[in-house]
Chains A and B, each alone.
Chain A
Amino acid sequence: MRITTRKLLDRAFTLCAYFAVALMTLFLLFVLLPIFGKGAGAYLFTGTVEHRRMLLDQFNRGDAEQFSAEWADVQQARRPIYAAVAAFEKELPGLPAARRKELKASYKEIRVGLGVLLGSEPGKPLPALTRGLYGQTRWDRAQEKVSNILYEETWDYSGGAGKRVLVPRQPLFEGTALAPIFPLLQNNLRDLLHPRFTFYPGFLIDKSIDAHFFGGIGAEVMGTLYLALGAMLIAVPLGIIAAIYFQEYATEGAVLSFLRSCVNTLAGVPSVVFGLFGLAFFINTLHVSPGKSVLAGALTLALLVLPTVIRSSEEAIAAVPRAYKEGALALGAGQWHTILTVILPAALPGILTGTVISMGRAAGETAPIIFTAAVSVGRMIQPSELLTQPTPTLSWNLYNICTEHQAVEEIRHVQYGMAATLVVIVLVLNLTAILLRARVARNLKG
């Protein structure tokens, strides 16, 4: 082949390699940017007066005096709407039957829409579900809901595939008592809802109100933390002891290689098989708890991360310079004494790195806890209940609210918030481990 072609191929290959790396980073951004971008929207958003009202009522948070002043303003702005509705109610029975029929269905939707937008009408009986008590807490959702009131959504099937057509309702109600609400809703929505830039850190710690319609993901965060901590409490002692045995005490032979093969195989077992095992062994055979519980979930997760803990602890122990050990032994210390006082402390940062990475893995896993620890609704779990009660968790509940929930579109921001929180927790843990590892490498070199 001519030299120019070979050079061309070389250049092309280099480009190809760069492209592969760029593709990898692009994928990472492609996956993380929407999650972080919209997930931040669960904590930082334009919130309305309904959000502040909900916080005050449900969580007792906020300045009550300042709020009552604002609420009075909002009530004042809303009065014409409710007055128009009341007037229309009186007017409706008096209308001719044909006109009444025309307006009735649309009016019902407007009533429902007003409730969804502004919350329960003052002076009327409270709705049964909490989601009906408050209007839209987020300004972007509010603007969508307003268009539900102002326009009727119909589908035009004339051209084959149905096309969505928004038919304004205002002309239909021209001349009735309801007419003034339309320009009010169109132009004065800010006065009705007082949108303001809101920072809602409580999203992380508040419990969820009415199936995540309001409130936060506190119960799920606590569940994830308990499960991850529980898994590490079980796996780390077991892992360190096994690593010590492998590195310091075991002699080469069939038994050792068998044990090592077992640990390697354990590392390769699919996560859903761990879940099956947890169900079949911990819950149905050992009966560690009368049903799903954090204990059973932690045991299952501990098994999942055990090989990683063993591997990283072994590496850490092996990386301790032989000089340390030999020095200690030369001074007359016994083997166990050496391990406890010299080797383990020196290997500690490395062991910690592996522990932190495994904790991140345990926090993010879903399949092992589906059958052993996770429920979709529950109060925030108390420490006294850890041995017997299941708990909501970030990983399982993310799946639950983005597939099974009754109103998936309404709580999109909660889904993104949960995904972002979970990813942030795991990434922070991993970053800590990476920094630890860098420090360990520096220490051991110098």
Chain B
Amino acid sequence: MNTGEHIILSAGEKTRRRIFGLVGRSFLFAVTSVAALAVLAIIFFIARDALPFFHEKGVAAFFFSKAWYPAQSPPQFGAAAIFAGSLLVTAAAVVLVVPPGVCAALCMSDILPFNVRQVLKPVIEMLAAIPSVAYGFFALVVLAPLLQNAGGRVLSVAWWVLALPMLALGSVVAADLLSSQRLSETSYRLVRGLLTFLFLALSLVLIVQTGNRLGALQISSGVNALNAAIILGVMALPTIVSVSEDALQAAGRELREGSYALGATRAETLVKVVVPAAISGIFSAILLGVMRALGETMVVWMASGNAAQIPKPWYNLLQPVRTLTATIAGDMGEADQMTGSAHYHVLFAMGLSLLIFSFFCNLAGEWIVARQRKRLRGG
């Protein structure tokens, strides 16, 4: 039993506690703002070293000229091809990986049993945790020789595996769609059968032709945009899958149950009801994947070939390209900042471009989330 301790505070106690509280709060606020202001410091320091370049050389040449010759005298800093390289590799990675990623998310949220899902989530986290230099090592030592020596065959096998089922299915569906008219039973069946056969034959011809053309491809260099795009896709995949899955889960059981009650199949429910409901979450996921792929350095430095060119034609992924991140990492050596050379500043200009782009992606993501929240609230 306590003897004589005051439970009610004296006036002095009260002020002391209030002062401590205030000091404590300010301290917490100061520390938090350090953490938060770091990003402002980053923008400041990158911009500070990037702007001299724009003052000296102007903006147009940097963004629109393809002539990247920093060691020439006079040096030329046209980074258009490098921007194109970054965009090409990122876009290719996203295109390669978003369909299977969203399908995998759908599978995990609606098709797989709970236990399997609990096991799969750590698997995805492990994929996400593998360091980028290990991916780059893999791309250089395993994937590049594979692409170079057997690239055509690998591509043609991939084409067969993907195209055959899809085109076969497509033929059946197309034939069905085109023949649902009010015909007599037998002629309906006949028309449908003929159309199916016709479409299947056409698809087969297309597949075999493309397959042969792919198989005959000779990839002259195993380090190219395709190599980088594949690995970047694999790196972005876990992010896309887990964020999409969260969004799909958040769409709610009532939506699904209502659709099933109306007689829709599971596929129709998922594709026509659930995915549109979760579409903003899926967009966020894709955006995060894009940010991850764009900001990746080691993989592209090791496996994209580092050729400052826009491939001819622009979608030819089998040629080497150069990205912004690889240029910054690779060229930083020459940067003699003491003499304030334009080469040093142009690398910071590239860093600034990356920073601004990621900043806008962040804003877009936050806007999507805010809009979704408003919609759910009933706005």
Chains A and B touch (C-beta atoms under 8 A apart): yes
Judge whether B183 is part of the interface by a CB distance below 8 angstroms: no
Q: Are A10 and B234 neighbours in the complex by a CB distance under 8 Å?
A: no
Residue in contact with B38 in the complex, picked from A306, A360, A430, CB distance below 8 Å: A306
B contacts with A: majority SS: helix
Alpha-carbon distance A292/B262, docked complex (angstroms): 66
Shortest CB–CB separation between residue A436 and chain B, in angstroms?
Answer: 12
Residue in contact with A399 in the complex, picked from B133, B355, B361, CB distance below 8 Å: B133
Judge whether A24 is part of the interface by a CB distance below 8 angstroms: yes
Per-position 1/0 for A90-125, Cβ under 8 A of B: 000000000000000000000000000000000000
**Residues of B235-250 contacting chain A, CB below 8 A:** 237, 241
Judge whether A182 is part of the interface by a CB distance below 8 angstroms: no
Per-position 1/0 for B125-140, Cβ under 8 A of A: 1110111111111101
Q: Are B172 and A5 neighbours in the complex by a CB distance under 8 Å?
A: yes
Q: Are B173 and A5 neighbours in the complex by a CB distance under 8 Å?
A: yes
Q: Are B103 and A16 neighbours in the complex by a CB distance under 8 Å?
A: yes
Alpha-carbon distance A31/B143, docked complex (angstroms): 9
Per-position 1/0 for B63-106, Cβ under 8 A of A: 00000000000000000000000000000000000011101101
Q: Are B31 and A242 neighbours in the complex by a CB distance under 8 Å?
A: yes
Per-position 1/0 for B178-199, Cβ under 8 A of A: 0010000000000000000000
Shortest CB–CB separation between residue B112 and chain A, in angstroms?
Answer: 7
List the A residue with the shortest CB-CB distance to B138: A31
Which B residues are in CB contact (< 8 Å) with A398? 133-134, 137
Q: Which of B39-47, B53-61, B207-215, B313-321 contacts A (4 or more CB under 8 A)?
A: B39-47
Which B residues are in CB contact (< 8 Å) with A15? 165
List the A residue with the shortest CB-CB distance to B328: A272
Shortest CB–CB separation between residue B282 and chain A, in angstroms?
Answer: 14
Shortest CB–CB separation between residue A15 and chain B, in angstroms?
Answer: 8
Which A residues are in CB contact (< 8 Å) with B355? 269-270, 273
Q: Are A399 and B104 neighbours in the complex by a CB distance under 8 Å?
A: no
Residue in contact with A270 in the complex, picked from B267, B325, B332, CB distance below 8 Å: B325
Chain A: residues with Cβ within 8 Å of the partner, total of 92
Shortest CB–CB separation between residue A269 and chain B, in angstroms?
Answer: 6
Q: Are B126 and A430 neighbours in the complex by a CB distance under 8 Å?
A: yes
Q: Which of B251-259, B290-298, B371-379 contacts A (4 or more CB under 8 A)?
A: B290-298
Contact A367 B129, CB 8 Å, known A13-B271, A21-B104, A21-B112: no
Q: Are A399 and B165 neighbours in the complex by a CB distance under 8 Å?
A: no
Q: Which of A75-83, A135-143, A276-284 contacts B (4 or more CB under 8 A)?
A: A276-284
Judge whether A18 is part of the interface by a CB distance below 8 angstroms: yes
Most buried by A among B37, B99, B106: B106
Judge whether B28 is part of the interface by a CB distance below 8 angstroms: yes
Q: Are B351 and A245 neighbours in the complex by a CB distance under 8 Å?
A: no
Q: How large is the interface on B (under 10, 10 to 19, 20 to 34, 35 or more residues)?
A: 35 or more
Which B residues are in CB contact (< 8 Å) with A427? 126, 129-130
Q: Are A276 and B328 neighbours in the complex by a CB distance under 8 Å?
A: yes
Q: Are A20 and B131 neighbours in the complex by a CB distance under 8 Å?
A: no
Q: Are A366 and B106 neighbours in the complex by a CB distance under 8 Å?
A: no
Which A residues are in CB contact (< 8 Å) with B108? 21
Contact A370 B329, CB 8 Å, known A31-B234, A238-B34, A242-B36: yes
Shortest CB–CB separation between residue A318 and chain B, in angstroms?
Answer: 16
Residue in contact with A271 in the complex, picked from B125, B295, B362, CB distance below 8 Å: B295
Alpha-carbon distance A23/B301, docked complex (angstroms): 26
Which A residues are in CB contact (< 8 Å) with B20? 336
Q: Are B125 and A430 neighbours in the complex by a CB distance under 8 Å?
A: yes
List the B residue with the shortest CB-CB distance to A264: B362
Judge whether B111 is part of the interface by a CB distance below 8 angstroms: yes
Shortest CB–CB separation between residue B10 and chain A, in angstroms?
Answer: 15
Q: Are A423 and B297 neighbours in the complex by a CB distance under 8 Å?
A: no
Alpha-carbon distance A19/B100, docked complex (angstroms): 8
Alpha-carbon distance A266/B241, docked complex (angstroms): 22
Residue in contact with B180 in the complex, picked from A1, A244, A275, CB distance below 8 Å: A1
Judge whether B157 is part of the interface by a CB distance below 8 angstroms: no
Residue in contact with A367 in the complex, picked from B127, B325, B366, CB distance below 8 Å: B325
Alpha-carbon distance A426/B141, docked complex (angstroms): 21
Which B residues are in CB contact (< 8 Å) with A7? 265
- The total of interchain contacts (Cβ-Cβ below 8 angstroms) comes to 268
Contact A13 B101, CB 8 Å, known A270-B358, A272-B295, A402-B140: no
Contact A364 B104, CB 8 Å, known A242-B31, A270-B354: no
Q: Are A245 and B332 neighbours in the complex by a CB distance under 8 Å?
A: no
Shortest CB–CB separation between residue B115 and chain A, in angstroms?
Answer: 14
Q: Are A24 and B351 neighbours in the complex by a CB distance under 8 Å?
A: no
Residue in contact with B42 in the complex, picked from A273, A364, A396, CB distance below 8 Å: A273
Q: Are A276 and B129 neighbours in the complex by a CB distance under 8 Å?
A: no
Contact A277 B329, CB 8 Å, known A28-B126, A364-B134: no
Judge whether B339 is part of the interface by a CB distance below 8 angstroms: no
Which B residues are in CB contact (< 8 Å) with A31? 130, 134-135, 138, 234
Residue in contact with A23 in the complex, picked from B29, B38, B100, B358, CB distance below 8 Å: B100
Alpha-carbon distance A303/B135, docked complex (angstroms): 23
Contact A273 B45, CB 8 Å, known A24-B104, A366-B297, A430-B129: no
Which B residues are in CB contact (< 8 Å) with A274? 42
Residue in contact with A366 in the complex, picked from B28, B132, B362, CB distance below 8 Å: B132
Q: Are B131 and A395 neighbours in the complex by a CB distance under 8 Å?
A: yes
**Residues of B313-353 contacting chain A, CB below 8 A:** 325, 328-329, 332, 337, 347-348, 351
Judge whether B276 is part of the interface by a CB distance below 8 angstroms: no
Q: Are A268 and B297 neighbours in the complex by a CB distance under 8 Å?
A: no
Q: Are A239 and B45 neighbours in the complex by a CB distance under 8 Å?
A: no
Q: Are B176 and A399 neighbours in the complex by a CB distance under 8 Å?
A: no
Residue in contact with B130 in the complex, picked from A238, A403, A423, CB distance below 8 Å: A423
Alpha-carbon distance A46/B377, docked complex (angstroms): 66
**Residues of A223-254 contacting chain B, CB below 8 A:** 238-239, 241-242, 244-246, 249
Q: Are B169 and A8 neighbours in the complex by a CB distance under 8 Å?
A: yes
Per-position 1/0 for B1-39, Cβ under 8 A of A: 000000100000000010011001100110111111111
Judge whether B261 is part of the interface by a CB distance below 8 angstroms: no
Which B residues are in CB contact (< 8 Å) with A269? 39, 42, 295, 355, 358
List the A residue with the shortest CB-CB distance to B234: A27
Judge whether B216 is part of the interface by a CB distance below 8 angstroms: no
Judge whether A68 is part of the interface by a CB distance below 8 angstroms: no
Shortest CB–CB separation between residue A311 and chain B, in angstroms?
Answer: 12
Q: List 13 A-B contacts (CB under 8 A).
A: A9-B173, A10-B265, A10-B268, A13-B270, A245-B29, A245-B31, A259-B36, A272-B297, A280-B45, A364-B134, A367-B298, A398-B134, A402-B302
9 closest A-B pairs by beta carbon, nearest first, are A364-B131, A270-B295, A17-B107, A13-B267, A262-B36, A20-B103, A10-B265, A20-B104, A10-B267
If A242-B35, A366-B133 are given as contacts, then 5 extra A-B residue pairs at C-beta distance below 8 Å, sorted by A number, are A21-B108, A35-B134, A35-B137, A238-B34, A426-B131
- Using a CB–CB cutoff of 8 Å, the interface residues on chain A facing chain B are 1-2, 5-10, 12-21, 23-25, 27-28, 31-32, 34-35, 238-239, 241-242, 244-246, 249, 258-266, 268-277, 279-281, 284-285, 303, 306, 310, 332, 334-336, 357, 360-361, 363-367, 370-371, 395-396, 398-399, 402-403, 415, 419, 422-423, 426-427, 429-431, 434
